[in-house]
């Protein structure tokens, strides 16, 4: 049975560490990112994409 982890990911240190731990523990990793008009929206999305690429994770989310 495949273990799946969904991590709410802003691109900050806390969510990045959490996602990394899940990945290292063998979970199939899915990152969820929400865009809600925050000032750093473009940069956050870029960083989450980089994290997903590095951890071989899928991205889903809510985008404006």
Residue 21: pLDDT above 90?
yes
Arithmetic mean of pLDDT, 21-37: 93
Domain boundaries, the chain: 4-62
The whole-model pTM stands at: 0.86
Considering the chain, what is the average pLDDT of its residues?
A: 92
DSSP the chain: ---EEEEE--SSHHHHHHHHHHHHTTPEEEEEEE-SS-TTHHHHHHHHHHHHHHHT-EEEEE--
């Amino acid at each position: 049975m495949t273990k799946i982890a969904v991590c709410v990911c802003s691109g900050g240190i806390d969510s990045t560490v959490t996602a990394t731990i899940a990945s290292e523990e063998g979970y199939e990793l899915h990152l969820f990112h929400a865009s809600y008009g925050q000032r750093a929206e473009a940069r956050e999305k870029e960083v989450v994409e980089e994290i997903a690429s590095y951890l071989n994770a899928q991205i889903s989310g809510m985008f404006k």
